[in-house]
Structure 1
């Protein structure tokens, strides 16, 4: 499944995996006004992330500072599996995000995601006979998004798309193809509108990975 091969989504093990994920995101969505540490723990549970958090600080403010690099997720959020979504440092996800994480969805550090955005790494056969409702196979392609991107509200990213570093995606856009670094794209399908002039040379900005030990 994660490698893009055909699979059957309604097999017992995948049904159980989605049920686990659903319970986890429902806990996060129902959390309400809780501490930053509790929110991070709920995200870790949804994401199946076993990275240990640093010991709790004496004050709430100090503890929040310890966790400042962890992603900030505003609920509600919905995912299929949870463990196929990897978020870098200082990522912000606004309300009502949807993640069809059949394959890996990787979001670079310092990326900002507006409300009602959707990331679809799963897909179905075009042949309706092969598609065959809940009895047919599905597949997927990974989504990769670079550091320092900004998604306006109501954006959709489709399977197999790679978006470069420092990209702005206009509100309401549907991204169907790869996007180069440092451009603004908008529309359905999204097209390059203009290039973005960066204030410092790109080679001097350290690239960061979504495979991060936030506790370090």
Structure 2
């Protein structure tokens, strides 16, 4: 397997592989263009967002926005990321419809080995993240690799999501835990 195949399969891989470096560089260039584009150019902005995500998208990404690859972000309709969001999409991230990210949210599929020798060798891994429909993350929420968040979930500001969260709940804390039920969407 090449390093990209390993990365997308959840296996340990070398992030400094030439192909992966080139793909991250392309995403950085697109993010740079997006982050320096005047807000008075909405059509150009939307075209850059669609190019970055590798699909036609109505996503609204406020500047600054940063990601690793872009093409692994599968955003549903009505996706909004407020200022200062970072998405490390080394593995696929599936985001449902009508999801909102407050400022400073980090969604990270990438992780590193606990063993210091392995970590120093450049090895890392990535695990997919799934976010349901109608989800809202408060400011500075961090979502860790491999989690699934159900539909109609609100995650309170500053929370760290390191385990799956059930649908129709308000979740807060580090680690984030359900504290309240929300009526299901009718």
Q: TM-score interval w.r.t. the shorter chain? A: over 0.9
Report runs of 4+ in structure 1 exceeding 6 Å deviation: none
Greater fraction of residues in strand = 2
Counterpart of 1:87 in structure 2 is 75
Identify the match of residue 155 of structure 1 among 141, 159, 169: 141
- Provide the C-alpha distance between the structure 2 equivalents of 1:138 and 1:198, rounded to a whole number of angstroms: 38
Query: Is 1:103 matched with 2:91?
Result: yes
Contact 2:155 2:172 in 1 (8 A): yes
1:26 to 2:36 alignment: no
Q: Which residue of 2 aligns with 1:143?
A: 129
- Give the CA deviation at 1:36: 2.6
1:2 partner SS: helix
Following superposition, the deviation at residue 199 of structure 1 comes to 5.7
1:190 aligns with 2:176: yes
TM-score, length of structure 1 as denominator length: 0.80
Shift of 1:114: 0.4
Q: How many residues align?
A: 180
* RMSD value, Cα: 1.2
Report the alpha carbon displacement of residue 176 of structure 1 after superposing the two structures with TM: 0.5
- Which structure's relative contact order is higher, taking Cα pairs within 8 Å and 6+ residues apart? 1
The structure number with the bigger radius of gyration is 1
Structure 2 gap segments, 5+ residues each: 1-6
**Structure 2 match to 1:174:** 160
Q: Which runs of 5+ in 1 are unaligned?
A: 52-68, 201-216
**Equivalent of residue 43 in structure 2, options 37, 42, 48:** 37
